[in-house]
Amino acid sequence: AQSVSQHNHHVILSEAASLELGCNYSYGGTVNLFWYVQYPGQHLQLLLKYFSGDPLVKGIKGFEAEFIKSKFSFNLRKPSVQWSDTAEYFCASTYSGAGSYQLTFGKGTKLSVIP
Amino acid sequence: EAQVTQNPRYLITVTGKKLTVTCSQNMNHEYMSWYRQDPGLGLRQIYYSMNVEVTDKGDVPEGYKVSRKEKRNFPLILESPSPNQTSLYFCASRLLSGGEGETQYFGPGTRLLVL
């Protein structure tokens, strides 16, 4: 079964610091990868996704992620975080196999940005 | 406005008292799904449905039922709730036509407390 691992449980940064959140997936076949964000008390929103093409994906709010197939990774980055980026971030995947559309989530990384 | 709605948003109940959480989407999506979110565990899929009258188990189906009698609605039923079902529940939907890379859209969540 596929799985998604997020390296950090809680990350604390000061405003203007650079951000990189790690994500690794286990499936060796064709995968589709997503980053979702959950602001406090809100539902999940899609930040960005990769399913083919350019491995460097740009999303909303200045976020980007790079798909590195050889490392089974899809790390999320932002060059300069703001207090409003305080949220929980989830990496997720689906994989191309047997018509499965299940979205498998990592356990999430809580980001706290200090003004 | 395209959206997934859930009701109720907050629910406190007692062990054994049957309850239903409703989910509705207005995007004509074939695929609908229920997740539960628990601290440190991320989101785990409970049940999903590929279309009307087609449902299947996710990773944590025990203690839950679903039905899909209409395309837009996908209620989650707890016949005899127990305290370990205290959680935050999300409904989601997506198109099937785009393949595994299609985005899932999430509802606002239902916070359930079982005493």
Distance CA B11, CA B107 (A): 16
The per-residue pLDDT for B99 is 64
What average pLDDT score do residues B49-70 get?
94
Mutate to test the interface with A, among B51, B94, B100 (most CBs of A within 10 A): B100
Identity of the residue in B48, B102, B106 whose CB atom sits nearest the CB atom of A43: B106
Give the 3-state secondary structure of residue A25: strand
Lowest mean pLDDT: which of A10-19, A28-37, A86-95, B82-91? A28-37
Whether residue A18 is predicted with pLDDT greater than 60 in this model: the reply is: yes
B14-39 tens-digit pLDDT: 999 999 999 999 999 999 999 999 98
Identity of the residue in B44, B50, B108 whose CB atom sits nearest the CB atom of A43: B108
Q: Which residue has the higher pLDDT, B58 or A27?
A: B58
Distance CA A102, CA A100 (A): 6
A34-61 tens-digit pLDDT: 999 999 888 899 999 998 889 999 999 9
What average pLDDT score do residues B55-77 get?
96
